Amino acid sequence: MIDQGSAILRELIRVLVRNLGILEKGDASCCGVTITQCHAIVEIGRKEKISLVDLADLLGVDKSTMSRTVNNLVEADLAVRELDAENRRYVTIQLTEKGKDVFRNIEKSMESYYKGIFGSIPEDKRSQVLESLKLLADAAQRNKCC
C-alpha cells in the first residue's frame, strides 16, 4: 500500500505544482520580476534584512546562484547589499523603497490568489486541508530529495 500511496502522492503533487504554476521558467513574470527574484524579494521583505548565505539556505539554492539573483535585484534598484564592517565576506541584503513596493504588490496579489483557492474548498474541509498540508510540508522537509 505504501508504494501505491506514494505513487498517488507523487501524481497529486505533480498536478498541484502544475496548477499553481510553480514549474514556471526562471524568467517567467511575477509582478514584473522573475519567479526567482519574486521568491528572493518575499523572503528579504519578510525578514527586512538577511544575509546572502541565509537567503540562499532559505530558498535552497547555492550561494553563487543567490548572488546572481541579488545582483539583478540591486541593478534593478530593488535591493541593496551591505558588507559587514568586521567581516567583509558577510553580506546582508535589504529592499529599497522600490523593492518594498514590489514586495507589497506580490504579497497583495498572493493573498488574493490564495484566498480564492481557500474559498473554493468546502468550509468543513478547510482545517483538514491545512492539517494535511502541514504534515506534507514537515515530511518533505525531513526527507529532502537530491
* Cell numbers for 96: 529599497
pLDDT band for position 22 (cuts 50, 70, 90): low
Residue-level pLDDT at 124: 97
Q: Is domain 27-142 classified as CATH 1.10.10.10?
A: yes
Instruction: Identify the DSSP state of 84.
Output: -
**CB-based contacts of 61, cutoff 8 Å, min separation 6:** 69
Determine the average pLDDT of the residues in 45-62: 92
Q: Locate the domains of the chain by residue range.
A: 27-142
Global pTM value: 0.79
CA 88, 89, 93, 96 dihedral sign is: positive
